[in-house]
Amino acid sequence: MLSIGIVDDEENARFLLRNEIEKSYSQILDRIYEADSVHSGLSLVKNNKIDILFLDIELGDGNAFHILEEIDTIDFSIIFVTAYNEFALKAFEFFAFGYIVKPFKKSELKEVVDRYLEEKVKTSKSSVRILSESILDKQIKKIILPDMDGFQVIHLSDVLYVKSDNNYSDFVLVNGDRFLSTRTLKDYERILTGQGFFRSHRQYLINLEHVAGYSKNDGGYIIMKTKEIIPIGRRKVAEFRRIFL
């Protein structure tokens, strides 16, 4: 059976969400708990066993992360309910959090709940902390790289470039360390473009902080501070030059 928590300071928003969940999942639904603040939300998650928490970002007495920071172990799946900006939505997607946007569509709600029912994905404390930092600063400083054994947390400033490796991404750090992520380069381009990274080539996403120069020779290439040579696509040259000139 499915137990659900809803934390939102708007009564009508809680009603609409509860009503739709009750209609769509009545056969497997055990109970829905509700809260309208950080204080009552914290009580909800500490005193009840839930499977999914629908969590509004902005609450009257704080924000969603004030609740999550106070929990020792997160043993449920989090679905954010938000009217937040495009950057926040990118971050939710990038860090693999479910979310629905106010006013939500029934199809979006069903999609995100059905995904939980299939995968039963729990949320790690480290991913919540990094997401919180990213949302509040409006800048991603650290990322979680899923790998075969679990995940790695790295600072973006340490990344020299990311290279596509079929459906994987090879993160090369300034110090020479490498980490192979199980996500595609396209995934990383979507969130890191605008965060100091540039897709120079179909196989490369470079950290502009570590660019040392550019050469027109041999069709054009980028020189990183480590002396490594990175190819640049012909259609990317003008855009790249505009960044620096």
Q: What's the confidence (pLDDT) of residue 91?
A: 64
CATH class of 142-244: mainly beta
> What one-character-per-residue DSSP string does 114-162 give?
HHHHHH-----HHHHHHHHHHHHHTS--EEEEEETTEEEEEEGGGEEEE
| Sequence spans of domains, the chain | 2-137, 142-244
Interval 131-155: pLDDT, tens: 777 666 666 788 877 777 777 788 8
Q: What is the CATH number that goes with domain 2-137? A: 3.40.50.2300
Interval 33-83: pLDDT, tens: 999 999 999 999 999 999 999 999 889 898 888 898 888 888 888 888 887
Q: Which residue has the higher pLDDT, 129 or 177?
A: 177
What is the percent of the chain where pLDDT is above 90? 51
Residue type, 88: A
Interval 5-18: pLDDT, tens: 999 999 999 999 99
Q: What's the confidence (pLDDT) of residue 93?
A: 63
Q: What's the confidence (pLDDT) of residue 141?
A: 80
Mean pLDDT of the chain, nearest integer: 87
Residue 200 near residue 236, CB atoms below 8 Å: yes
